[in-house]
Amino acid sequence: MGSVNRREFLTATGAGLAGILAAGVPPARGQQREISYLCWNNFAPNSDKKLAEIGQRFTKDTGIKLKIDHISHMGPQQNKYASEVQTQAGHDMVEMRMHFPWLYEPQLVDVSDVVAELEKKYGKALSSSYEGAHVNGVWRAVPQYHGMFVATYREDLFKKASLKVPDTWEELYVVGKELKKMGNPVGIPISQNYDSISTAGPVLWSFGGMEVDKDGKTVRINSPATVQTIEWYKKMFRDCMEPEVLSWSDASNNESIQQGKAGWIHNPVSAYIVAKQRKLVTADGINHHRSLGGPHGRHETDTPRHIGIWKFSKNIEASKEWIRYLLGKRETYDEYIMAGDAFNLPVYEKLQDHPVLRTDPKYAALRGEGVQYHTYGWPAPASDKVQLITNSYILPNMIAKAVTGTSTKDSIAWAETEMKKILAG
């Protein structure tokens, strides 16, 4: 971050950037602006390094000092947002994921202008980003990238047994039976963790079901689609999986396929990437295929991440400049994505077929043609009550009850009562 002649900070490096900067931002004479950005420890460490690099170029080009802080996505992160909001002081920008913009709506700046520019260039933002960052008619955070779930399977085992690569959840059941007989069962967790919700959701959506309706108030879990979902899980549990899935953690399915046990799991690309990095025996046999569909479409869970600006920031315009710098220029955005090694993929329509997917033929399925991405709780808007339903793991608990002996009817009734209680309280 070298020193820059303050009068020259308006020097632009791209057409778009110049136009935006010339739109009336007064030169800050005698004042070097400084902004800070709090973001997560990226799953791909190179991505963090690349971000720092881009940040330094930003400072050189615009004269705005940029401080990037990192935070773990676990414990510390929750207090961080809370404490910044309470003290009305902290970073200018924060990286948010999924529905966080809903939780902090009153504290976030309206960034619809920035998003509109990006959408004009790159096409509309994906459905999940829209659901997560577009709150009550206003964009409260700028969609950045996402990591999505995808089917991860042992291609070598499938080939050996001449199994057909499934395209629907029903087809998964058919191959799953064979896989279990081979000693490589399907691995879908049914326990209190996010992986469980991330599979239960798509299955439910693919059958046309939902937890809470679009209005955010009506509980719709008691429906034929839910019955179908539960029946599907029951037969999967009985014929294609082993009871250990009832006590799995978020890492268990990764470890199971990396270890050579599971034949098929539903997971982001992390399982494969880590197997590659650790040079495990199974790495060569793992591949991905497109997310599965059902009678009501092809739905999938993903974890979009967006950048939000706190209202209390004193550098809102400068923050927007940074966001535009990082995401607004195609080359920079691409650079940033490439550093993420397929962990982070762009969330705008026209960028779906991204070069990073070609760095390894096994990333082809991540292109997600015809897949609709949603975050937890879809289609209900992500109010804090709906998020509490998700965080109380009602959906996986309902399924766990059903596969371990409770009748389908009773399990659904229990889930309905719990969800209604939360919406009422």
Partner 1 sequence: MAAVRADEIPVPRGRPRPVARLRTWLDRESVLGPVLVTPAMLLLVLLVAYPFVMALYFSLSNAFIGRPSHFIGIRNFVHLWDSDAFRQTFQNAFVFTGIAVAFKLVMGISLALLLNEQLWFKRMIRGAVLLPWVIPTALSTLGWWWMFNSLYSVVNWTGIALGVMDPPGPNWLGQKYYAMAAVVTVNVWRGLPFFAITILAALVAIPRELYEAAEADGANANARFWHITLPLLKPVLAVVVLFSTIFTFSDFNIVYILTHGGPINSTHLFATLSRMLGLEVGRIGEGAAVSLYLFPLLAFVVWAQLRFVRKQAY
Partner 2 sequence: MPVARRPLMKRVLIHLGLLPFLIFALFPFYHMTLTSLKKDRELYDRHAVPLIIRQGPTLEHYSKLLWETEFLTWTKNSLMVTILATGISVVIGTVAAYALARLRFVGVSSFGTGIFVTYLVPTSLLFLPLAQVVNWLGLADSKWALILTYPTFLVPFCTWLLMGYFRTVPKEVEECAMVDGATRIQALWRIVLPIAIPGLVCAVLFAFTLSWNEFIYALTFTSSSEQLTASVGVTSELIRGDIYFWGSLMAGAILGSVPIVILYVFFLDYYVSGLTAGAIK
Q: Decide: is 417 part of the binding site for partner 1 (CB under 8 A).
A: no
Q: Decide: is 255 part of the binding site for partner 1 (CB under 8 A).
A: yes
| Binding-site string for partner 2 from residue 215 to residue 254, where x marks contact by CB under 8 A and - marks none | -----------------------------------xx--x
Comparing C-alpha atoms, which of 152, 156, 159, 158 is closest to residue 198? 152
Q: Decide: is 404 part of the binding site for partner 1 (CB under 8 A).
A: no
Q: Decide: is 280 part of the binding site for partner 1 (CB under 8 A).
A: no
d(CA 255, CA 399): 23
Task: List the alpha helices (DSSP H) in 259-383.
Answer: 270-277, 316-323, 330-338
Q: What is the largest CA-CA distance in the chain?
A: 74
Task: List the alpha helices (DSSP H) in 183-283.
Answer: 194-206, 224-239, 252-258, 270-277
Q: Is the CB of 274 or the CB of 388 nearer to partner 2?
A: 274
Q: Is the CB of 39 or the CB of 210 nearer to partner 2?
A: 39
Closest contact distance (angstroms) between CB of 421 and partner 1 is 7
Q: Decide: is 211 part of the binding site for partner 2 (CB under 8 A).
A: no
Comparing C-alpha atoms, which of 265, 207, 249, 201 is closest to residue 231? 207
Closest contact distance (angstroms) between CB of 252 and partner 1 is 6
Q: Decide: is 330 part of the binding site for partner 2 (CB under 8 A).
A: no
Among residue numbers 39 through 78, which ones bind partner 2 (CB under 8 A)?
Answer: 41-43, 45, 69-77
Q: Decide: is 191 part of the binding site for partner 1 (CB under 8 A).
A: yes
Q: Decide: is 90 part of the binding site for partner 2 (CB under 8 A).
A: yes
Length of the chain: 425
Go through 72-86 and write b for each residue having 16 or more CB atoms within 10 A of its CB, e for each that does not. Answer: eeeeebeebbeebbe
Go through 170-203 and write b for each residue having 16 or more CB atoms within 10 A of its CB, e for each that does not. Answer: eebbebbbbbbeeebbbbbbbbbbbbbbbbbbbb
Q: Is the CB of 227 or the CB of 280 nearer to partner 2?
A: 280
Q: What are phi and psi of 142, to 5 degrees?
A: -95, 120
Closest contact distance (angstroms) between CB of 78 and partner 2 is 9
Is there a contact between 83 and 89 (Cβ–Cβ < 8 Å)?
no
Closest contact distance (angstroms) between CB of 82 and partner 1 is 4
Q: Is the CB of 265 or the CB of 423 nearer to partner 2?
A: 265
DSSP codes joined into one string, 194-207: HHHHHHHHHHHHHT
Q: How close are the terminal C-alpha atoms of the chain, in Å?
A: 51
Q: Decide: is 246 part of the binding site for partner 1 (CB under 8 A).
A: yes
Q: Decide: is 78 part of the binding site for partner 1 (CB under 8 A).
A: yes
Q: Decide: is 392 part of the binding site for partner 1 (CB under 8 A).
A: yes
Q: Decide: is 259 part of the binding site for partner 1 (CB under 8 A).
A: yes
d(CA 70, CA 98): 18
Residue 294 neighbours by CB distance under 10 Å: 22
The distance of Cα 29 from the centroid of its chain, to the nearest Å, equals: 41
**Among 2-10, 22-30, 231-239, 385-393, which window interacts with partner 1 (CB under 8 A)?**
385-393
Task: List the alpha helices (DSSP H) in 31-134.
Answer: 45-62, 75-87, 100-103, 112-122, 127-133
Closest contact distance (angstroms) between CB of 2 and partner 2 is 23
Provide the binding-site residues for partner 1, judged by CB under 8 A.
Answer: 75, 78-79, 81-82, 85-86, 103-104, 106-107, 191-193, 244, 246-249, 252, 255-256, 259, 384, 388, 391-393, 397, 400, 418, 421, 425
Provide the binding-site residues for partner 2, judged by CB under 8 A.
Answer: 38, 41-43, 45, 69-77, 79-80, 82-84, 86-87, 89-90, 147, 195, 250-251, 254-255, 258-259, 261, 267-268, 270, 274, 278-280
